[in-house]
Amino acid sequence: MLIGEVARRSGVSARMLRHYESLGLVRPTARTGSGYREYSAEDIRRVFHIESLRSLGLSLREVKRALEDPGFRPSELVDDLIRQTRERIAEETELLTRLRRIGAAEPAGWEDVLRSVALLQALRSKSAGKRQHAALSSAGEVPVPVEALVEAVLRETDPNVAGALRWALARSGDSGLPLLAEGLRSPLAEVRRRAVRSVTEIPGGAATALLREALAHHDTVVRGQAALALGSRGVTDAVPTLVDMVVAGQTQDVDAADVLSALARRPAMAEPIATGLVDRLAHGTVGVSARRRLTQALGDIPGAITSRALEELSQDEDRGVALTATYLLALRDER
């Protein structure tokens, strides 16, 4: 079969067949009396083998090795092809995501497109300064899509950059909350905690509702951040968690006590908060350090329940607890 007929039947151009011959991939078995290439059935089968391997993504060099190397192991090549394909898919997915974000910004012209691209690239820069500048610039004429802001804030490790990103995210309203809710479900503790910190800085009822849900989170740090934010917003559902924080002596137990104090300024809240703190003392299972923290927390809670509790604590077996309660009673008398 001459080269033209092979090209028609195989779909491989005559030019490519001559290129295969120059590489030594397939050589016509014979020549006609006029010098034309003549391919045998075996040659044509080899052409189809070459095309099959190329369809898997192999280079011509890899194809030649696969066909001619006796020690060639197909499994190794397949594994390598899988890796390359995954990398290519990841690159294409990233490109698609970037294009969608640029489209979401609704650019009016090429200048807007270029600014959006520059901001998105800057958010992934290795330079913390560039990332922070991009976050602060997102409030300009060409805002960064909220998806990009959430993705950036959930991976950011620099505290200054993270603060700028949270600020930018808060300015975008509550549109980022569904993505932050996904972040709260992350298996990575650092991502969950960045997510809740971002939610706490977003105003409005939708953010408050998400924080209420976070009060039942399995991560104690997430629960604590949600309780502090809710308490600061005047949400009384946060009181039990805030009391738990005081008892447990978490990193922010002092902040929890301060929030309880602020909530207790509401006449209707002073008694429930005092009761919650006193009940933990009445269990008789809290240690000395917890009794000290509970005593200090009671100091700023008005009402008769608190006064009676402090009088009892002034007789506590631990001298530190007793002295603290006595001092707080004296302050209350002065007021």
| Helix ranges restricted to H, 58-204 | 60-68, 74-104, 110-123, 128-137, 146-155, 159-171, 177-184, 189-200
> Is a pLDDT exceeding 70 seen at residue 94?
no
Phi, psi (5° rounding) for residue 37?
Answer: -65, 140
C-alpha to C-alpha distance for 188 and 196, rounded to whole angstroms: 13
Q: What's the pTM value of the predicted model, to 2 decimals?
A: 0.66
Residues 27-77 have pLDDT tens digits of 888 888 788 888 888 888 888 888 888 888 888 888 888 788 777 676 777
Q: Among the ranges 18-27, 186-195, 274-283, 298-307, which has the highest mean pLDDT value?
A: 186-195
How large is the average pLDDT for residues 179-189? 94
